[in-house]
Amino acid sequence: QLQLQESGPGLVKPSETLSLTCTVSGGSISSSSYYWGWIRQPPGKGLEWIGSIYYSGSTYYNPSLKSRVTISVDTSKNQFSLKLSSVTAADTAVYYCARHMIVVVPIAFDIWGQGTMVTVSS
């Protein structure tokens, strides 16, 4: 049974870089049928897609965050990672990693991690 688990600091200072890792277990990240994505949810608000990556390293990013986001993959560790630079309080959110189903394009997130709360504060 495939599982995803986010890890990383729960507190980041303003202007610094938020770094999270998602570890995939029970299956391979190198599947041709999926991208792997990051989604966030500010407290009391809705979902926002951040970006997704294929095992080959091909990426899609949300244009609203693209200038600050880097998503990378490490197939040897079955992990993918998120870096968000120059964070502000507006980046405070629960961050989820998820498996992103592909048809011709990525279409839906079918398996999610439990989420990790990241607070931006000095």
Partner 1 sequence: QSALTQPASVSGSPGQSITISCTGTSSDVGGYNYVSWYQQHPGKAPKLMIYEVSNRPSGVPDRFSGSKSGNTASLTISGLQAEDEADYYCSSYTSSSTLVVFGGGTKLTVL
Query: Where on the chain is the footprint of partner 1 (CB under 8 A)?
Result: 37, 46-49, 52, 60, 62-64, 96, 101, 103, 105-115
Side-chain half-sphere exposure of 2, counting CA atoms within 13 A:
19
Smallest gap from Cβ 15 to partner 1, in A, equals: 26
Closer residue to partner 1, CB minimum distance, 10 or 63: 63
Residue 26 CB partners (closer than 8 Å, separation 6+): 1, 2, 3
- Nearer to partner 1 by Cβ, of 14 and 107: the residue is 107
Taking the CB of residue 67, how many other CB atoms lie within 10 A of it?
A: 9
**Residue (71 or 111) nearer to partner 1, CB:** 111
DSSP state of 91: G
